[in-house]
Amino acid sequence: MEHFKNRALSRVDGVITGHCIMCGKYLGNEYDTNYYALIRRKYCEEHAEAVHSLSMQAGRRRYKDKQRKTVKAMRSLIDEYMYRARLLQEYNEELQRELDDLKRRRL
C-alpha cells in the first residue's frame, strides 16, 4: 500500500482521495479537487477551525510563559541590583563616619 506523508490521503480505487483525519469526512479526490489544495488538507472545515484555535491557544500559552519567565528574570536582576546598591550605601556610610571621625580628630 502506498504511503502518504499526509495521513488524510489514501488511494480509493486507484484515485488519491482525502478524508478528514479527525472525523473521516470526505475532502475530495485528485480529480474533483485542486490537487495541490487536496494534498495539503488534513481536516474538514469544522476540524480545521478547531485545530487552528487549539494551536492559537498553545501559542498564547507559550507567549504568556515566555513573558512570565522574562518578568521573573527581571525581578531577580532588580533584586540583585538592590542588594548591591544597599552594600554600596553601607560602605559609603562607613566611609563617611571614618571621614567625620578624622576631621573631628584634626580639629
Interface with Zn ion (CB under 5 A): 20, 22-23, 25, 44, 47
State which H helix or E strand residue 100 sits in: helix 45-106
How far apart are alpha carbons 75 and 64 in whole angstroms?
16
Tell the smallest beta-carbon distance from residue 77 to Zn ion (Å): 48
Tell the smallest beta-carbon distance from residue 27 to Zn ion (Å): 9
Tell the smallest beta-carbon distance from residue 12 to Zn ion (Å): 17
Residue number with CB closer to Zn ion (22 or 39): 22
**The three grid cell numbers given for residue 18, joined into one nine-digit string:** 482525502
Residue number with CB closer to Zn ion (16 or 44): 44
Tell the smallest beta-carbon distance from residue 24 to Zn ion (Å): 7
Residue number with CB closer to Zn ion (16 or 43): 43
How far apart are alpha carbons 9 and 2 in whole angstroms?
10
**The three grid cell numbers given for residue 98, joined into one nine-digit string:** 571614618
Q: Which of 2, 45, 36 is nearest to 15 (CA)?
A: 2
Residue number with CB closer to Zn ion (39 or 47): 47
| Count of CB atoms situated within 10 Å of the CB of 27 | 21
